[in-house]
Amino acid sequence: MDIQSLRALPKVELHRHLECSLRPSTLRELLAASGQEVPKDAQAFSDLYLVMEPMNDLESVLRKFLATQTVLSTEKVLERISFEAVEDAYLEGIRILELRYAPTFVQQGHEDMSFDQIHQAIVKGVQRAEKQFPVAVGLIAIIQRILPADSSLTRNDGIC
């Protein structure tokens, strides 16, 4: 089977992290808008921000997440990246998508956004995409495992 035939098959993706599903063009735009220096060299940009191949250790993966965290700064941004993540999944042939995110991670450095505001912005972007594309999306709000276990009791406000 050739690559075009594989791409044409409908797919299910059960583990996509929103925080690292930004389009490179969107990430570049958001980084520049926030005053951060954006590598001009495509390889340098890719090395810093993109997951292009399997990664061998958790630390390397987490570095990619941390590199994008600063741009997850407003409800408008969260709605946009949620919409784009669903659209991109649809264009990859995905028809059922499980999209996960950590409200605590998104909120770090952006404490002016409540968990409910974060969740509602993501829901808004997903719902807008579902109206435009025949794709079903489930959302999973996860808790960072680096946080103390008892913090999960105070981190579930507004999300169910």
State the Cα–Cα distance between residues 91 and 85, nearest whole angstrom. Answer: 10
Q: Which helix (H) or strand (E) holds 31?
A: helix 24-33
Q: Domains in the chain and their CATH numbers? A: 3-154 (3.20.20.140)
| Confidence at residue 66, expressed as pLDDT on a 0 to 100 scale | 81
| Confidence at residue 7, expressed as pLDDT on a 0 to 100 scale | 76
pLDDT at 152 over 90: no
Q: Average of pLDDT values for 118-140?
A: 97
Among all chains, which residue has been given the structure tokens 């946009």? 80
* Residue pair 100/140 in contact by the 8 Å Cβ criterion: yes
pTM > 0.75: yes
